[in-house]
Amino acid sequence: MEDVVGIKTYITSHEGINGIFKESPEDFYVEEVADLKFGDGDWVVLKVKKVNWDTLNFVRVLSNRLRISQKRISYAGTKDKRAVSVQNFALKIKSEDELERLRNLSIKDAEIEIVGRTNRPIQLGDLKGNVFKVVVRKAKNVENIPLIESELRAKGTPNFFGLQRFGSIRFVTHEVGKFILKRDYETAFWIYVAKPFEGESEEARRVREILWNTRDIKFGLKELPKYLRYERTLLQKLREGKSEKDALLSLPENLKMMFVHAYQSYVFNNVLSDRIEEFGSLKVVERGDWVDFVNLNDHYTFREDFVNVHGLNFRRVKFLIDRRLCALAIPLPGYETVLGDDWTSERIRFYLERDGIDLKDFKHEYKEFSSKGSFRVADILIEHTNFKYEIKGDVTFNFYLPKGCYATILLREFVKKPLF
C-alpha cells in the first residue's frame, strides 16, 4: 500500500515488533503544542479534548450548535478521527448570546474549556508540534526496539509524508493533482470520483468500479453511498451541464489545495526513498544538497531557513549535522524551484519527466492548483523528540514531533508495517 505514495523502504535493518495499532481511539493520544498569545480581542480560544472526532467534522458540528459560520472557527491543523486529541480552536464571537451558547455548549465525547481571548484567528504558524502517546498491542521482538532506535539516531529518521496526506482510504489525491497539473481535468475528475481502491467498503468499491468503466452519471448518483458527498456533488455538477473542470473548481478551497500538495508530497516521498536506498543514511550530504537548521527551546522546531550546500559552507554544515543541529532537506517542486545537477535535483527531474510534468506547470491559472514550491526536512532527528517507550505486555511510545511530522512514519520503523 505505501509504495503507491512513494514510501518504498525502511532505513533500519532490524525486524519490527508488528503488533496492533489503534485497537481503540484511546491507544493514540495526541496533544498540540502551540504558541498562543492571550489578551483582549474578539476571538475566544477553546482547548478541546475529543475522542473519535476528526477535526473537520467537529468544526461542522461546533458551527451548527453555536449557529455561526465555519469561517469564524480557526485552528492550526487537522487531527485523525480514531484518536484522543487535544486541540486548540479560536472562535470569533460577535454577541453575548453567542458567548452564552458557547459557555453552555456540550458535545458528545468532547471536553471543551475556554482558555482565553486573542485578537486574531489561530494559524498554522502558531503550532510548534504535537506530543504523542501511542500504544502498540500484542507486539513481538520487543528486544529490537533499542536496536532500531540506535539505528535511527545513527542514520536518521525518514520524514515521509504519511498515507493520510493522500486520502482517508483511497490514496489517489496525488493522482488527481498530477492530472490537474497536466490540465487533464476529465481524468482528474474521474479518478477522484470513481477510481476503485483496495481497502474501501465492498459496496463503495463495487459502485466505483462500474462508474469508472461506464462514466454513467445517473447510475453514480443513484448508487454511490450518501456519505460520499463530494463525489455525489461533483456528479451532480456534470448532470447540470458543467464541465469536469468547473465541477472540480466547485469543491471547497482547502480540498482543492490538497491535490497539488499531495502530488508534491508523492515526489518528495519517492526521492526520499531513493535517497535511503542510494546513501543508506540521511546524515550524508553532498554539495548541491539543501539543509535546514534546528531551534532547541522547550520543544524543538525547524527554522525553515533552507540553505544550499556548497564549497564554502560544506564543512560547517557537516559539523552541524554531526551534532544534530542541522538536517538534510528535499525540495517540494513548484514553479520557483531551481533544479541543479546535484543528486536530489536529478531524482526530482526524473519523477517529473516520468509523469509528463514541467516545473512551469505548477504556475496554474487557478491559485488553488498553483504552487511556487518549498522544502521539507528529510530527517525527523529522533534525538530531539524526547523519545521513550515502556514495555508492559503492550508497548507504549511517548514522543514529541515538530509540526508536519507524522507519528505513524516514526513508528513504522519500529513496527515494520503500514500503520494506517
Numbered ranges of CATH 3.30.70.3160 in the chain = 37-121
Closest Cα to residue 181, out of 329, 351, 338? 351
Cα 401 to Cα 410: distance, rounded to the nearest angstrom: 9
| pLDDT value at residue 124 | 85
Predicted local confidence at residue 80, as pLDDT = 84
Dihedral over Cα of 46, 51, 53, 54: its sign: positive
All CATH 3.30.2350.20 domain ranges in the chain, comma separated: 2-24+129-158+384-415, 255-379
Q: Per the structure block, which three cell numbers stand in for 192?
A: 477522484
Model confidence pLDDT, tens digit, residues 91-133: 999 999 999 999 999 999 999 999 999 999 999 889 999 999 9
Any residues with CB less than 8 A from the CB of 318 and at least 6 apart, and which? 285
**Model confidence at 248: pLDDT above 70:** yes
pLDDT value of residue 136: 97
As a whole number of angstroms, the distance between CA 293 and CA 58 comes to 35
* CATH architecture of the domain with residue range 37-121: 2-Layer Sandwich (3.30)
The CATH number assigned to the domain with range 255-379 reads 3.30.2350.20
What pLDDT, on the 0 to 100 scale, is given for residue 5?
96
Angle at 260 between CA 257 and CA 266, to 5 degrees: 130
Q: What are phi and psi of 6, to 5 degrees?
A: 90, 0
Burial degree of 99 (CB within 10 A; 0-12, 13-18, 19+):
middle
Looking at CATH, the fold of the domain delimited by 2-24+129-158+384-415 is given as: Pseudouridine synthase (3.30.2350)
**pLDDT per residue over 327-377, tens digit each?**
999 999 999 999 999 999 999 999 999 999 999 999 999 999 999 999 999
> Rounded to an integer, what distance in angstroms lies between the CA atom of residue 93 and that of residue 97?
9
Active site residue 80: yes
What pTM did the predictor assign?
Answer: 0.94
* Residue 299's pLDDT band (cuts 50, 70, 90): confident
Q: Are the beta carbons of 366 and 246 closer than 8 angstroms? A: no
Q: Which of 80, 126, 292, 379 is catalytic?
A: 80
Mean pLDDT of 217-241: 95
Going by C-alpha positions, the residue among 258, 57, 64 that lies closest to residue 166 is: 258
C-alpha cell at 22: 489503534
Identify the CATH number of the domain defined by range 166-251: 1.10.1510.30
How confident is residue 297, by pLDDT bands cut at 50, 70 and 90?
confident
